[in-house]
């Protein structure tokens, strides 16, 4: 199914952000009917490259060729005009509007009014040709995540895309929904579409692509043809540039229950809560993972444990004592360390200096302040200590926190919590968007905490991460805990079924 | 209560109410366009004041009222573009940018009025707009004089509402505008220029606010005075919230406010009720705050209102 | 041409000084154009404008007296804006403070020595509470604070006019000015043969207190944190609602204190024109002062000079006195644009190819 005329060529693309080389001399070729996997770790340059292709960024050097002819792409309108469509990791849909209204954005109307009939007809044609179907008047807010992604793909087809870029599309899907996506991708490729599939998940890339391009630190390291002899291990090493050694997880004696949630209902309204009677336990010396497709209540659960969201019902027990009035102060005082999912929105105040952020949760206590008066020296000394301990790369304690890289921000958040020796550490999406070195460091800290007899609750959408770290894996679906599986018995299949809402007993 | 009813059913009450509502309609719909595109335009009071001055001055010297309106329109468009420069191109705080615009525009209005007209003993005035009766329709008993014997700009204001509803909900530009206001990234990745739409919305918004201001100085009254706007612009900000960012409801809010204002004027004049007249003057503002408190909880504001759009952020 | 903003690594402290100066310079240039349009000589007009406020000891003292309410309203707005509580109501809080002072100051039943401290207390509390109202509406009901604080200005103004037209009307002249406060209530004059009154000292003390509060206390830290990122502040354990209300109390109190100073130190009564927009000028002053108490003082002095000098300039050159208002508006706008350079470096680029 391979034609020899490349529909897309990127030649010598270079892009810098300040001192960082995001892309350097990148070449890429895509044919009709091709499914090209773009593999690399977080920070390898894959998304930057695609953003250049889609017109969000301008390359510093290099050219883009469509059907062999060089073209200029200054913004997304140009990209769309050249037949390039992109499905971003975070969807760009208007929840309040209908499917049809989301499709008609940016389109010319008929006689100055919206051409609903024409749009509906085009939608029906896409459904017939590619099997991607959605009712036009449905408000987007009523669609499932999988259906919203389908809408994003339809949007690209609606605008006549011949090249489709999918940026980490499976992050938000259950294993079963992912199979549906792969089926759709094959159907698109069969019709001559060129597909670029960006991922850092090795087994997915092996499954669906016919060619693989690997990037590391802004450079293309290899381009190879996908075949049966290609292994995950090989791909992983090509991706990271070294041998992958899974971290050691020695057996640790599990002790008392440090955190217990009993029938917690929270979020939404008391009649229709987001979390529905959730119960779970974290013991000393264990890492409990929480798996689930994003949007199934993980956020609310994290907020309840963090003390930000008071529950409608149920009980929270920390080290045997029931918490009467759950609040951030109470939860902190009893020994819960918290690293939120949204580092720069919820965890840190990016416009403040690093030293201010390092003491943020405890600035009202000694040694940082006495009787309401701050001790700036103590604050800065503390910040300096933690920077050294955690090898955080920063020019000093006075830098604007927002200038730190993702990995360093995560280290700072972790340092902030671990300095107070928490009983239980709650983390959400700990290694999302950070480089391999920082991710390894973070994982080591977790295992270290576990070895010292503390407990951890790790909420993650990355199943591989959970399998590596955790002793037990709980699965959340639509606000309920579907089941908890010891990691020795956990497989992608049984966890995936729970993630999709199938209880073990009913299966 | 009887007194209130007596005033309401007096001849001319509803006609007055519609006149009072007209500048509010222009300015509120203007603000609506800006906010639906995601920008809070707090320059409204200043734009109305400055445009009232430029409109009045142009009319005074040229003898043509419509030339005055054109001058006011131009003022509003320029002011809107300036607001766009601050909030869209420079991404500055929409709150403070709008306040700066109001302060500057107000200062310019007073300054240039003095430069142009000096401080004569008798304040300059013009022959204001006269009502234009629509033939046939204005002869209908009772409602004829009320609805169809008004200033030309009143008809424009009233027609503005269905036209706006059509533009917002039935045209491609309107859909693009609404998308920019809800999710600028969605619009951007669909090939719509967020900056262009916001500039257009702001300039249109300025133009409409300007006509509202000009109406005050050239139809409702026949001169420009320093107090010709007196806080009406700020009230329109609240009217957009009352109207839940929907053109029909915003119009309803404007009429409701005009009703209360007209009532308050007449009650003052009739001197029957023994309350200081200033209480009536404050009543609209008090009601505005109360209603905002009641409605804000369920506000259906455009999701991207007050958030500057930067491409690199996802 | 594309304007791109690149993040600056460290906040550069010298920018705090040069940016406001740049803004003022730009303002003077732009407004010079307006002076020319008014048909006057720019240099001559500016000389009169600035010199008249500083030409004699008496003039300098008068300028300081004029700057006093501006320092306080500037502080009020600066504190509020730090928490992103958009207090546009300093004008109304000022009026309430003045009214509270006159109310206390005309009470015959109170002992003479207690009047001054009570007036100050009453003014601070009145102004503070008037700001707490919109703060509560913001935290509980999510009502936009810009509109509410603004509308409350009009409400207070009409209430004041109702009082001046009613129980406080001067029975002799029929003008809307209130009865005078008792002689014991008048603020003591600090410098003989001038109008330099206690209010000036209060403003100086307030400046130091606010500076100390913002830099050295946990409350000041909390105010900044809540203003920069309320979600992160809440996650870290700050009670965001309580802090915003406290900020409002302080902010309104400062504005109320400004009103007390004018009523008890200068006019000894309340009249319709007791405020010439001090609350709104406070916004410009606060922004020019970079929301820092140490910047508010020079900023307030600058505007005191401009406002006083504008009268003299108008008399001698014929340039309308409203130039002062235009200078205010232009200064705010140029300052806003200058702010771009603090957090970001502005990069202008000709559109590159795709």
What pLDDT digit, counting tens, does each position of B290-299 carry?
878 887 665 6
- pLDDT of A496: 78
In this complex, the residue of B96, B114, B293 whose CB is nearest that of residue C336 is: B96
CATH fold label, C2-349 = ABC transporter involved in vitamin B12 uptake, BtuC (1.10.3470)
In this complex, the residue of B96, B106, B238 whose CB is nearest that of residue C325 is: B106
Per-position b or e across A199-227, b if 16+ CB within 10 A of its CB: bbbbebbbebbbbbbbbbbbebeeeeebe
Tell me the chain C residues in contact with residue A351 when contact means C-beta distances shorter than 8 Å.
228-229, 343
In sequence order, what DSSP letters do the residues of A314-380 get, joined into one string? Answer: EEEEETTEE-SS--HHHHHHTTEEEE-S-IIIII--TTSBHHHHHTGGGTTSTTTEETTEE-HHHHH
Chains that touch B (3 or more CB pairs under 8 A): A, C
In this complex, the residue of A77, A90, A96 whose CB is nearest that of residue B191 is: A77
Shortest CA distance to A36 belongs to which of A143, A194, A191? A194
Closest alpha carbon within chain B to C324: B107
Q: Which of residues 360-389 of A touch C (CB under 8 A)?
A: 360-361, 363-364, 369, 372-374, 376
Whether the pLDDT of residue A505 is over 80: the answer is no
Q: To which residue do tokens 């001319």 refer? A: B12
- Mean pLDDT, residues A501-505: 65
Q: Say if residues A101 and A94 touch (Cβ distance below 8 Å).
A: yes
Contact B185 A92 (CB under 8 A): yes
- Best residue in C332, C348, C351 for a mutation probing chain B (most B CBs within 10 Å): C332
Residue B194 — very low, low, confident or very high, per pLDDT cuts 50/70/90? very high
Handedness of CA A310, A312, A317, A323 (dihedral sign): positive
SS3 B87: helix
Q: Which of residues 156-195 of C touch B (CB under 8 A)?
A: 158-159, 161-162, 165-166
Q: Say if residues C164 and B314 touch (Cβ distance below 8 Å).
A: no
- pLDDT of C354: 29
Whether the pLDDT of residue A500 is over 90: the answer is no
The strand pair at A84-87 and A69-71 is best described as unpaired
Tell me the chain B residues in contact with residue C321 when contact means C-beta distances shorter than 8 Å.
114
Tell me the chain B residues in contact with residue C39 when contact means C-beta distances shorter than 8 Å.
115
CA distance A7 to C215: 60
Model confidence pLDDT, tens digit, residues C27-78:
999 999 999 988 889 998 998 888 888 888 888 999 999 999 999 999 999 9
SS3 C64: helix
In this complex, the residue of C221, C225, C236 whose CB is nearest that of residue A374 is: C221
In this complex, the residue of B172, B182, B191 whose CB is nearest that of residue A76 is: B191
Segment among A77-91, B9-23, B51-65, C84-98 with least mean pLDDT: B9-23
Separate counts of helices (H) and strands (E) for chain B: 13, 2
Q: For chain C, how are helix, strand and coil distributed in percent, rounded to 5?
A: 70, 5, 25
Q: What residue segments make up the domains of chain C, in order of their start?
A: 2-349
Q: Which of residues 256-315 of C touch B (CB under 8 A)?
A: 280, 283-284, 287
Model confidence pLDDT, tens digit, residues B123-169:
888 888 888 888 777 777 777 777 787 888 999 999 999 999 999 99
Residue B93 — very low, low, confident or very high, per pLDDT cuts 50/70/90? confident
Q: What is the number of alpha carbons within 13 Å of residue B213 lying toward its C-beta?
A: 42
- pLDDT of B128: 83
Q: To which residue do tokens 């062999």 refer? A: A68
CA C289 vs CA A450, B92, C203, C256: distances in Å: 51, 17, 16, 20
Q: Which token pair is C241? A: 């609602």
Tell me the chain B residues in contact with residue A86 when contact means C-beta distances shorter than 8 Å.
189
CA distance C295 to C77: 13
Angle between helices C90-105 and C145-165 (to 10 degrees): 30
Question: What is the least distance, in Å, from the CA of C7 to any CA of chain A?
Answer: 8
CA distance B132 to B149: 6
SS3 A270: coil
Segment among A57-66, A426-435, B76-85, C212-221 with least mean pLDDT: A426-435
The pTM is what? 0.85
Contact A78 C354 (CB under 8 A): yes
Contact B170 A80 (CB under 8 A): no
CB pairs under 8 A between A and C: 98
SS3 A38: strand
SS3 B260: helix
CA distance A340 to A214: 31
- pLDDT of C349: 54
Question: What is the least distance, in Å, from the CA of A493 to any CA of chain B?
Answer: 32
Closest alpha carbon within chain C to A326: C237
**3-state SS record for B98-116:** HHHHHHHHHHHHHHHHHHH
- pLDDT of C103: 93
- pLDDT of A506: 44
Closest alpha carbon within chain B to C134: B289
Longest dimension (CA), chain C: 81
Question: What is the least distance, in Å, from the CA of A271 to any CA of chain B?
Answer: 19
Whether the pLDDT of residue C346 is over 70: the answer is no
In this complex, the residue of C152, C158, C339 whose CB is nearest that of residue B281 is: C158
| Average pLDDT score, chain B | 87
Higher-confidence residue of B77 and A272: namely: B77
- pLDDT of C339: 82
CA A253 vs CA A452, A467, A488, C330: distances in Å: 10, 19, 16, 70
B182–chain A Cβ distance below 8 A for any pair: yes
Tell me the chain A residues in contact with residue B163 when contact means C-beta distances shorter than 8 Å.
none
Chains that touch A (3 or more CB pairs under 8 A): B, C
Tell me the chain A residues in contact with residue C6 when contact means C-beta distances shorter than 8 Å.
18
CA distance C33 to C29: 7
The strand pair at A163-167 and A84-87 is best described as parallel
Q: To which residue do tokens 């975070």 refer? A: A90
- Mean pLDDT, residues A250-257: 89
Residue B275 — very low, low, confident or very high, per pLDDT cuts 50/70/90? confident
Q: Which token pair is C70? A: 């501006």
Whether the pLDDT of residue B245 is over 50: the answer is yes
- Mean pLDDT, residues B97-107: 94
Question: What is the least distance, in Å, from the CA of B161 to any CA of chain C?
Answer: 24
Question: What is the least distance, in Å, from the CA of B312 to any CA of chain A?
Answer: 8
Residue A470 — very low, low, confident or very high, per pLDDT cuts 50/70/90? very high
Contact A340 C235 (CB under 8 A): yes
Whether the pLDDT of residue B282 is over 70: the answer is yes
Closest alpha carbon within chain C to A309: C235
Residue C352 — very low, low, confident or very high, per pLDDT cuts 50/70/90? very low
Across A6-20, A37-51, A367-381, B270-284, the highest mean pLDDT is recorded for A367-381
CA distance C139 to C248: 11
In this complex, the residue of A332, A372, A400 whose CB is nearest that of residue C9 is: A400
The alpha-carbon radius of gyration of chain B (Å, integer) is 20
Whether the pLDDT of residue B227 is over 90: the answer is no
The full set of domains in chain A, from first to last, is: 6-240 (3.40.50.300), 257-499 (3.40.50.300)
Higher-confidence residue of C90 and B294: namely: C90
Residue A164 — very low, low, confident or very high, per pLDDT cuts 50/70/90? very high
Across A77-91, A482-496, C213-227, the highest mean pLDDT is recorded for C213-227
Q: Euclidean distance between the first and final Cα of chain B, in Å? A: 57
The angle subtended at Cα A309 by Cα C232 and Cα B304, nearest 5°, is 55
Whether the pLDDT of residue A304 is over 80: the answer is yes
Question: What is the least distance, in Å, from the CA of C89 to any CA of chain A?
Answer: 27
Enumerate residues 6+ apart whose C-beta is below 8 A from B266. B7, B10, B13
Closest alpha carbon within chain B to A73: B191
Q: Which of residues 286-305 of B touch A (CB under 8 A)?
A: 303
Contact B115 C280 (CB under 8 A): no
Whether the pLDDT of residue A43 is over 70: the answer is no
Segment among A160-174, B108-122, C2-16, C229-243 with least mean pLDDT: C2-16
A100–chain B Cβ distance below 8 A for any pair: no
Enumerate residues 6+ apart whose C-beta is below 8 A from B227. none
Closest alpha carbon within chain C to A58: C354
The strand pair at A69-71 and A61-66 is best described as antiparallel
Number of other residues whose CB lies within 10 A of the CB of residue C7: 12
Whether the pLDDT of residue B13 is over 60: the answer is yes
Residue C143 — very low, low, confident or very high, per pLDDT cuts 50/70/90? confident
Contact A374 C218 (CB under 8 A): yes
Q: For chain B, how are helix, strand and coil distributed in percent, rounded to 5?
A: 70, 0, 25
Tell me the chain C residues in contact with residue B44 when contact means C-beta distances shorter than 8 Å.
none
- Mean pLDDT, residues B56-69: 92
CA distance A317 to A281: 9
Contact B104 C330 (CB under 8 A): yes
Residue C347 — very low, low, confident or very high, per pLDDT cuts 50/70/90? low
Tell me the chain C residues in contact with residue A374 when contact means C-beta distances shorter than 8 Å.
215-218, 220-221
CA distance A310 to A325: 8
- pLDDT of B122: 84
Contact C330 B278 (CB under 8 A): no
- pLDDT of A139: 94
Per-position b or e across C155-164, b if 16+ CB within 10 A of its CB: bbbbbbbbbb
Contact A356 C217 (CB under 8 A): no
Q: To which residue do tokens 């249109």 refer? A: B204
Enumerate residues 6+ apart whose C-beta is below 8 A from A35. A185, A186, A189, A195, A197, A208, A209, A210, A211
- pLDDT of A3: 53
Tell me the chain A residues in contact with residue C241 when contact means C-beta distances shorter than 8 Å.
none
Tell me the chain C residues in contact with residue A395 when contact means C-beta distances shorter than 8 Å.
9-10
Q: Say if residues A291 and A476 touch (Cβ distance below 8 Å).
A: yes
Tell me the chain C residues in contact with residue B108 when contact means C-beta distances shorter than 8 Å.
326, 329
Enumerate residues 6+ apart whose C-beta is below 8 A from C56. none
| Average pLDDT score, chain A | 87
Contact C3 B89 (CB under 8 A): yes
Q: Which token pair is A200? A: 């850092």
Contact A395 C351 (CB under 8 A): no
Residue B3 — very low, low, confident or very high, per pLDDT cuts 50/70/90? low
SS3 B207: helix
Contact B190 A155 (CB under 8 A): yes
Contact C332 B100 (CB under 8 A): yes
Tell me the chain B residues in contact with residue A104 when contact means C-beta distances shorter than 8 Å.
172, 175
- pLDDT of A356: 94
């Amino acid at each position: 199914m391979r034609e020899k005329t490349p529909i897309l060529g990127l030649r010598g693309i270079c892009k810098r952000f300040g001192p960082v080389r995001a892309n350097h001399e990148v070449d890429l070729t895509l044919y009709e009917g091709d499914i090209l996997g773009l593999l690399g770790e977080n920070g390898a340059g894959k998304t930057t490259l695609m953003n250049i292709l889609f017109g969000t960024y301008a390359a510093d050097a290099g050219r883009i060729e469509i059907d062999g002819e060089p073209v200029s792409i200054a913004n997304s309108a140009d990209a769309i005009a050249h037949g390039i469509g992109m499905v971003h990791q975070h969807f760009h849909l208007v929840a309040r509007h209908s499917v049809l209204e989301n499709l008609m954005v940016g389109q010319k109307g008929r006689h100055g009014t919206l051409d609903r009939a024409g749009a509906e007809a085009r939608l029906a044609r896409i459904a017939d040709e590619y099997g991607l179907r959605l009712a036009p008047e449905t408000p987007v807010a009523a669609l499932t995540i999988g259906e919203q992604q389908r809408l994003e793909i339809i949007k690209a087809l609606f605008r006549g895309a011949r090249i489709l870029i999918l940026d980490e599309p499976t992050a938000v899907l259950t294993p079963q929904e992912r199979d549906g996506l792969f089926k759709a991708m094959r159907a698109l490729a069969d019709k001559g579409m060129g597909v670029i599939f960006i991922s850092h998940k090795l087994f997915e890339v092996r499954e669906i692509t016919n060619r693989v391009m690997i990037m590391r630190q802004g450079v293309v390291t290899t381009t190879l043809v996908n075949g049966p002899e290609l292994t995950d291990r090989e791909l992983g090493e090509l991706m990271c540039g070294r041998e992958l050694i899974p971290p050691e997880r020695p057996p640790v004696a599990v002790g008392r229950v440090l955190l217990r949630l009993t029938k917690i209902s929270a979020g939404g309204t008391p009649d229709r809560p987001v979390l529905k009677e959730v119960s779970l336990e974290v013991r000393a010396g264990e890492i409990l993972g929480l798996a689930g497709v994003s949007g199934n209540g993980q956020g609310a659960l994290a907020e309840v444990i963090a003390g930000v969201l008071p529950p409608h019902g149920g009980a929270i027990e920390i080290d045997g004592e029931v918490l009467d009035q759950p609040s951030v102060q109470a939860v902190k005082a009893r020994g819960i360390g918290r690293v939120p999912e949204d580092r720069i929105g919820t965890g840190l105040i990016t416009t403040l200096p690093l030293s201010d952020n390092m003491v943020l949760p405890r600035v009202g206590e000694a040694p940082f302040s006495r009787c309401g008066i701050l001790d700036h020296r103590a604050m800065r000394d503390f910040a300096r200590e933690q920077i050294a301990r955690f090898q955080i790369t920063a020019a000093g304690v006075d830098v604007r926190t927002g200038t730190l890289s993702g990995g360093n921000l995560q280290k700072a958040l972790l340092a902030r919590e671990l300095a107070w020796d928490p009983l239980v550490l709650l983390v959400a999406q700990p290694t999302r968007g950070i480089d391999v070195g920082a991710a390894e460091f973070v994982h080591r800290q977790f295992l270290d905490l576990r070895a010292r007899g503390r407990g951890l609750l790790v909420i993650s959408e990355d199943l591989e991460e959970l399998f590596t770290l955790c002793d037990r894996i709980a699965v959340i679906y639509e606000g309920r805990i579907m089941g908890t599986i010891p990691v020795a018995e956990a497989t992608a299949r049984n966890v995936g079924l729970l993630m999709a809402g199938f209880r073990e007993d009913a299966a | 209560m009887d007194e209130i009813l007596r005033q309401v059913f007096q001849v001319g009450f509803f006609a007055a109410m519609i006149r009072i509502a007209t500048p509010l309609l222009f300015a509120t719909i203007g603000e609506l366009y800006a906010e639906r595109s995601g920008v809070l335009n707090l320059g409204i009071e200043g734009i109305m004041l400055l445009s009232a001055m430029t409109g009045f001055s142009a009319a005074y010297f040229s003898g043509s009222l419509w030339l005055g309106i054109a001058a006011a329109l131009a003022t509003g468009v320029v002011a809107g573009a300036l607001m766009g420069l601050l909030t869209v191109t420079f991404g500055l705080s929409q709150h403070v940018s709008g306040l700066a615009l109001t302060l500057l525009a107000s200062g310019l209005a007073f300054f240039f009025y003095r430069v142009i007209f000096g401080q004569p003993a008798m304040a300059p005035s013009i022959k204001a707009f006269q009502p234009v009766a629509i033939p046939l329709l204005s002869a209908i008993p009772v409602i004829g004089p009320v609805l169809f014997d008004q200033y030309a700009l009143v008809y424009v204001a009233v027609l503005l509402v269905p036209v706006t509803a059509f533009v917002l909900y039935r045209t491609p530009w309107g859909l693009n505008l609404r998308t920019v206001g809800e999710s600028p990234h969605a619009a951007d990745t669909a090939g719509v220029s967020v900056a262009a739409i916001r500039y257009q919305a702001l300039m249109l918004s300025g133009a409409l606010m300007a006509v509202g201001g000009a109406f005050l100085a050239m139809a409702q009254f026949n001169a420009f005075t320093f107090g010709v706007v007196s806080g009406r612009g700020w009230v329109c900000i609240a009217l957009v919230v009352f109207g839940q960012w929907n053109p029909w409801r915003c119009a309803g809010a404007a009429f409701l406010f005009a009703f209360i204002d007209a009532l308050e004027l007449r009650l003052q004049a009739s001197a029957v009720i023994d309350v200081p007249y200033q209480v009536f003057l404050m009543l609209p503002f008090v009601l505005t705050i109360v209603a905002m408190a009641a409605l804000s909880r369920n506000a259906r504001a455009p999701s991207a209102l007050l958030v500057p759009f930067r491409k690199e952020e996802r | 041409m594309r304007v791109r903003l690149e993040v600056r690594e460290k906040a550069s402290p010298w920018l705090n000084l040069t940016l406001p100066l740049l803004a003022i310079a730009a303002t003077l240039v732009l407004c010079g154009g307006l002076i020319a349009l008014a048909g006057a000589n720019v240099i001559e007009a500016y000389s009169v404008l600035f010199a008249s406020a500083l030409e004699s000891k008496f003039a300098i003292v008068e300028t300081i007296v004029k700057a006093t309410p501006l320092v306080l309203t500037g502080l009020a707005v600066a504190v509020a804006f730090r928490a992103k509580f958009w207090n546009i109501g300093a004008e109304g809080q000022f009026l309430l403070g003045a009214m509270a002072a006159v109310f206390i100051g005309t009470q015959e039943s109170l002992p003479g020595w207690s009047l001054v401290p009570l007036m100050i207390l009453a003014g601070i509390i009145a102004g503070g509470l008037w700001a707490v109202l919109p703060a509560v509406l913001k935290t509980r009901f999510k009502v936009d604070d810009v509109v509410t604080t603004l509308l409350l200005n009009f409400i207070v103004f009409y209430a004041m006019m109702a009082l001046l037209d009613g129980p406080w009307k001067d029975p002799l002249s029929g003008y809307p000015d209130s009865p005078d406060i008792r002689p014991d209530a008048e603020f003591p004059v600090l410098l003989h043969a001038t109008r330099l009154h206690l209010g000036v000292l209060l403003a100086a003390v307030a400046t130091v207190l606010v500076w100390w509060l913002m830099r050295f206390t946990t409350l000041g830290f909390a105010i900044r944190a809540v203003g920069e990122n309320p979600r992160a502040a809440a996650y870290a354990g700050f009670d965001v609602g309580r802090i915003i209300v406290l900020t409002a109390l302080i902010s309104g109190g400062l504005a109320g204190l400004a009103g007390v100073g004018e009523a008890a130190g200068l006019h000894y009564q309340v009249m319709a024109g007791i405020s010439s927009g001090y609350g709104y000028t406070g916004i410009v002053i606060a922004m020019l002062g970079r929301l820092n108490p140490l910047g508010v003082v020079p900023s307030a002095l600058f505007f005191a000079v401009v406002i006083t000098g504008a009268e003299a300039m108008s008399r001698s050159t014929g340039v309308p006195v409203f130039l002062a208002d235009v200078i205010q508006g232009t200064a705010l706008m140029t300052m806003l644009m200058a702010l771009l350079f603090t957090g970001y470096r502005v990069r202008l680029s000709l559109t590159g190819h795709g």
